[in-house]
Structure 1
Amino acid sequence: MTVKAHFDILIIGGGPIGISCAIEAQKAGLSYIIIEKGCLVNSLYNYPANMTFFSTSEKLEIGGVPFVSNNIKPTRAEALEYYRRVTDKFDLNLHLFELVESIQKLKGHYEVRTAKTSYTSDNIIISTGFYDLPNLMNIPGEDLPKVNHYYKDPHFYAKQKVLIVGANNSSVDAALETYRKGADVTMVIRNGQIGERVKYWVRPDIVNRIQEGSIKAYFNSNLSGIRQHEVDIESPEGTITIPNDFVLAMTGYQPDFSFLEKIGVNLSKDYLRLPEHNPETMETNLKGLYLAGVVCGGMNTHKWFIENSRDHGERIVGHIVKGESNR
């Protein structure tokens, strides 16, 4: 495999934060490329079709490009359109549907091998998010085709018995939308209430639907087994078996820790598995290798989002430029 090109910065991940890093590199006159294993802003594309962001549109802006939406809180479709426009405006150098397979540190630079070719770069920015690897329940039957860790559209579940695991935004949205399309919805919730982070304009809706019995909910409970036509729930009253057609396990997601470890990024030994990095420069324990966006938070995937990490690119590129000037 021959090396295709050399860059000052190679960015892994074509989400909003990866795009913002590329814009900063372009502004600084540095050569760069974005490598993305899926489509543009792949994680946002995989969000539920009818999702509305918690953030207002101006907090999702990058590159100084205004984000105009029909309502204060934009939809998934509006966000996809916005980030396409931003990419076109800056004519960003990006390769989509190209999986990064390995990163190797060589003398003074990195070699990045992908499924298509290889590159060398002085600096690497990893902005891969966390949406690709679901947190598994590790229970019998989780691998059945009827089980999905991603939710897209409610129509598919019309007239079906649907069990939803979880009590945060993704779970609540799936429960309300499938219920309103005619599904028989049951929720299994590990704690004693709906999650505190649920969008404030949605929370009363799900609470009322549960209280009136339109949506059944088992609190302080866990799903313990899945079979083709039924599921087992461990509740305070003991094991309950109910009929079931589909399971939506909205159990959250996590960064690809094995990829980070393979590269040589140090991770904390506790549950959070925080990647080692300087919060001012975003540089990891590996010189010239940086983190940006959600991946910085390890298992604490609620710490970083677009609105509070869109300045990571400025920090990183500023540090790179300063390092170049000091050589």
Structure 2
Amino acid sequence: MSIEKDIIIIGAGPIGIACAKACKESNLNYLVLEKGSLTNSIYNYPLNMTFFSTSEKLEIDDIPFISSNPKPNRNEALEYYRRVASSNDIAINLYEAVDTITKADHKFTIHSNKNQYTAKKVIISTGFYDIPITLNVPGENLPKVTHYYKEAHPYSMQNVVVVGASNSSVDAALEIYRKGGHVTMIIRGDAIGERVKYWVKPDIVNRIAEGAITAHFNSEIEEIQDDVVIVNTPEGQITLKNDYVVALTGYIPNIKLLEDAGITFSDDGKYIPNYDEDTMETNIEGLYLAGVICGGMETHKWFIENSRIHAKKIIKHVTSIL
């Protein structure tokens, strides 16, 4: 038996919450389905992560985001979005993963791991943090390898390889170093990433320059073994004594969910979904995208700051045709 709704929203991140709030204000019968915790992506950020943006740029509508710091941290963001959801009595089913979205007779059928729903419209706001970009090397499945970083304490007094040169890689390398870990960075390019936070970049550059953190540029891991990592460098292949590998090489959105729903993409290999920028409606009538998912593999194109407007665009269009 199907549960009927006007709108099903998939993903309870900040943009999914914004879409839900807009639905409620328009008296639409909606439900948010989230496969993990509330704002699951932010929950999975490192414990000490600080946002690049100031708090007002992360706000939903006119609800103030008060932070004790110039730039808010992970815990403050979790508290803010939790309060937005609870104080507005947003209808959310947590830990309910959507498996399929199909359309027939002008209605959508949504199957989750718990229920079946029918809806007139569907909004997908699933972000991009769910699927790590893997190294595709032997040994990557060993227990000592992780593609997510939470905190530095477990790596104290250990030989740790950090893969990547993005914000997450740099933050992890610096935190582990300061908690007593012996850090070696393996970086495919010839420099620290251009998008690294401006107040952090001098720190990592100086730590590398003084030798506190070792960095191998233009290098890639060849193989991961129980107690060593084999790395290809410009000077030749080297073997590093190793306890843990923290491979922070980025993440990709759930493209398959969109593909299976019938959404088409750009033909440039970036999997940018086709949608109307004014309404956020895809090539499937009644199926909308919101937030980071709109950028496909270009995960640095959309953020909370510049995609909050998606919610109002979508609901404005929905209410004009329902």
Q: Do they fold alike, i.e. is TM over 0.5?
A: yes
Q: Which residue of 2 aligns with 1:305?
A: 303
Contact 1:63/1:86 (<8 A) preserved? no
Is the contact between residue 23 and residue 63 of structure 1 (CA under 8 Å) also seen in structure 2? no
Does 2:245 align with 1:222? no
Alignment partner, residue 196 of structure 2: 198
The alignment's TM-score, normalised by the length of structure 2, stands at 0.99
Which residue is 1:323 aligned to?
321
Q: Is the 8 A contact 1:52 1:74 kept in 2?
A: yes
Distance 2:278 2:316 in 1: 10
Within the candidate set 95, 120, 143, 1:97 is matched to: 95
Paired with 2:21 and 2:247, the residues of 1 have a C-alpha distance of 36
The Cα shift of 1:27 comes to 1.2
Distance 1:270 1:159 in 2: 45
Q: What is residue 62 of structure 2 aligned with on the other side?
A: 64
Deviates more, 1:19-28 or 1:207-216: 19-28
Pairs within 5 Å for 1:242-281: 242-281=240-279
User: Percent identity at matched positions?
Assistant: 56
1:152 paired residue number: 150
Q: Which residue of 1 aligns with 2:280?
A: 282
Aligned to 1:166: 164
Q: 1:256 Cα shift?
A: 0.8
Post-superposition offset of 1:321:
1.1
| 1: CA distance, partners of 2:282 / 2:135 | 31
User: Is residue 75 from structure 1 mapped to residue 73 from structure 2 by the alignment?
Assistant: yes
Match of residue 40 from structure 1: 38
Shift of the alpha carbon at 1:81? 0.3
Cα separation, 2, equivalents of 1:164 and 1:138: 16
SS in 2 for 1:162: strand
Distance 1:164 1:224 in 2: 14
| Alpha-carbon separation, structure 1, partners of 2:269 and 2:141 | 25
Matched, 1:114 2:122: no
Cα shift readout 1:260-295 (whole Å, capped 9, x = no counterpart): 111111122323111111111111110000000000
Shift of 1:57: 0.3
Structure 2 spans left out of the alignment, 5+ residues: none
Describe the superposition over 1:92-112 as per-residue Cα deviations: whole angstroms up to 9, x where unpaired.
111000111111102121011
Q: Distance in 1 between matches of 2:80 and 2:316?
A: 26
Distance (whole Å) between structure 2 residues aligned to residue 84 and residue 264 of structure 1: 33
C-alpha separation between the residues in 2 aligned to 1:166 and 1:279? 33
Equivalence for 1:51: 49
Query: What's the counterpart of residue 17 of structure 1?
Result: 15
**In the alignment, structure 1 residue 180 sits paired with structure 2 residue 178:** yes
Separation (CA, whole Å) in 1 of partners of 2:314 and 2:5 = 15
Instruction: Measure the CA separation in 2 of the matches of 1:240 and 1:315.
Output: 53
Q: CA deviation at 1:173?
A: 0.3
Q: What is the alpha-carbon distance in structure 2 between the residues aligned to residue 316 and residue 168 of structure 1? A: 32
Q: Distance in 2 between matches of 1:299 and 1:102?
A: 21
- Alpha-carbon distance in structure 2 between the residues aligned to 1:224 and 1:281: 46
Q: Distance in 2 between matches of 1:27 and 1:259?
A: 28
Q: 2:185 aligns to what SS in structure 1?
A: strand
- Matching residue within 84, 100, 103 for 1:86: 84
Residue 127 (structure 1) aligns with: 125
Q: In the comparison of the two structures, how many residue pairs are matched? A: 322
Q: Which moved more, 1:121-130 or 1:103-112?
A: 103-112
**TM-score, normalising length from structure 1?**
0.97
Q: Distance in 2 between matches of 1:40 and 1:171?
A: 25
Describe the SS at the equivalent of 1:22. helix
The equivalent residue for 1:27 is 25
- The answer for the alignment partner of 1:237 in structure 2 is 235
CA distance in 1, matches of 2:186, 2:236: 14
Q: Deviations over 1:19-54 (max 9, x none)?
A: 000111111111110000000000000000010000
Q: CA deviation at 1:257?
A: 1.0
